[in-house]
Homo-oligomer: A and B are copies of this chain.
Amino acid sequence: MSRVAEDRGRTAGARTGGVAPRRRGRPRSAAADSAIVEAVLRLIEDGVPIAELSMERIAREAGVGKATLYRRWSGKSALLLDAMRSLDAPCPPLEGVSVRDDLVRLVEFLHRRGLAKRSSAVLRTVVSHVEAQPELWAEYHETVVRARHEALLGALRRGVATGEIRADRDLDTLAALFVGPMLARALLHEWRQLPEGLAEDVVDTVLEGVRPPAAEPGTGPGTPAH
């Protein structure tokens, strides 16, 4: 189970594990934790645009004081980011038989994420705050993006090992080819139309390339006349 609150303030140290330091005073209400996150998700689900998602409205909707929000999160961006994390499906296992199937599964997963209204909404929020709060982006990258990227890179490396993928390609560039289209779709609100076979299409296209299969040897496809 993922820890929801960023644990701002006194409880911050508790995350580094170790023995419980036995805090004093009234413990934080777990009910408040979930009420807040659920309020955020409910509001987003109801189509409230991000710009109208004020902390005051969230607090009101959750039946919670504003201070309770700021005690847990450093600001709106952090809260939204955290709210999104709470609905994160875990990365699919990827123990597929072929590298191609693994890639399809992964891209499919990114695709479905992008289709979810909530995910793309929060993703846009993160994007719009990247500049002003780089540490926010760093944290998001660390906790959400890296795992996926590593999984993707792992699949690609396996492909290289099995000979399915040629070794002279930069794997980061390659990864960007799989992730980029899905990300762009999610951000730019193009998730309304949902082409079903998109993931397979993307993977196969990248794998096979777009040059026509050489019918007869000698006619090198894609080799321009010059």
Contact = CB atoms under 8 A, between A and B. Distances in A.
A35 B210 CA distance: 47
B202 A173 contact: yes
B209 A214 contact: no
A184 B176 contact: yes
A115 to B, nearest CB: 15
Interface residues of A, number: 68
Contacts of A206: 177, 205-206, 209-210
Interface stretch (A7-15, A86-94, A160-168): A160-168
B205 A221 contact: no
Contacts of A52: 132
Interface of A: 49-52, 97-100, 121, 124-125, 127-132, 134, 137, 159, 162-167, 169-170, 173-174, 176-177, 179-185, 187-189, 195, 198, 201-202, 204-214, 216-226
